[in-house]
């Protein structure tokens, strides 16, 4: 998705070195936000700290590891986590550790400094394990309406699209839930099949990619 958005952006502004067109596009106007990144690099002999601002077109969300054990019925336990908990990654306080090499580790902290009109979340369900791909089955509970991010209480987001993956990593299917804004009816689409569904069904799916649209709250005058 990130590759597609960047490709569309470059195509809209032109790629010629002599072009005089603007460096902005409707892609950046809709989807581009900004993060403050604090990186603490821990080496065996010293520790360095650096802070920078970086743009983003989508935010990657990390799922907790699935449980290793089965329940009393010998079935795999499917855990559940709230979207708000996954978004703690971007509160400026939660530390995400990244292994740089055998002797160095980076402790990353992220804080959203500018929110875009449309927020795209990518849920990291798949991971490469040698020659195989594993899928994390954790269910993510999320609001369909009025998502509020920490430190941005005046901006709320409504879900407008939800891409899900059903089944095993190599054999599953993708389908998308899309809202028709004129009447707020949700539709499920898979290949050529299109059918109307309830919002409750959207919230029970294995979310893989989500798009939220922002609406700004009006502050009453005192």
Q: What is the pLDDT of residue 16?
A: 43
58-86+117-216: CATH topology: Cathepsin B; Chain A (3.90.70)
The CA-atom distances, in angstroms, between 62 and each of 84, 119, 123, 208, 215 are: 12, 16, 6, 11, 26
Q: What is the pLDDT of residue 75?
A: 60
φ/ψ of residue 150, rounded to 5? -60, 140
The whole-model pTM stands at 0.85
The residue ranges of every structural domain in the chain are: 58-86+117-216
Q: What is the pLDDT of residue 20?
A: 46
- Per-10-residue mean pLDDT of the chain, 222 residues long, equals 83 61 80 93 87 94 78 65 93 89 88 94 89 88 89 83 90 91 92 91 88 76 56
């Amino acid at each position: 998705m990130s590759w597609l958005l960047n490709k569309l952006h470059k195509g809209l502004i032109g790629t010629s070195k002599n072009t005089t067109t603007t460096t902005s596009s409707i892609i950046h106007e809709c989807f581009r936000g900004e993060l403050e990144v604090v990186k603490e690099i821990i080496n065996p002999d010293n520790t360095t700290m650096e802070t920078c601002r970086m743009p983003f077109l989508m935010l990657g969300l990390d799922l907790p590891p699935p449980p290793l054990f089965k329940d009393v019925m010998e079935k795999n336990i499917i855990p559940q986590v709230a979207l708000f908990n996954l978004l703690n990654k971007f509160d400026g306080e939660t530390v995400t550790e990244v292994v740089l090499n055998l002797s160095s580790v980076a402790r990353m902290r992220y804080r959203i400094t500018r929110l875009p009109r449309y927020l795209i979340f990518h849920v990291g369900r798949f991971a490469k394990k040698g020659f195989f791909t594993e899928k994390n089955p954790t269910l993510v509970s999320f609001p369909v309406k009025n998502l509020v991010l920490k430190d941005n209480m005046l901006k709320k987001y409504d879900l407008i699209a939800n891409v899900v993956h059903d089944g095993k990593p190599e054999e599953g299917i993708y389908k998308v839930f899309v809202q028709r804004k004129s009447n707020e009816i949700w539709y499920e689409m898979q290949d050529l099949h299109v059918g109307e569904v309830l919002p409750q069904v959207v919230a029970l799916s294995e979310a893989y990619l989500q798009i939220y649209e922002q609406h700004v709250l009006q502050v009453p005058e005192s």
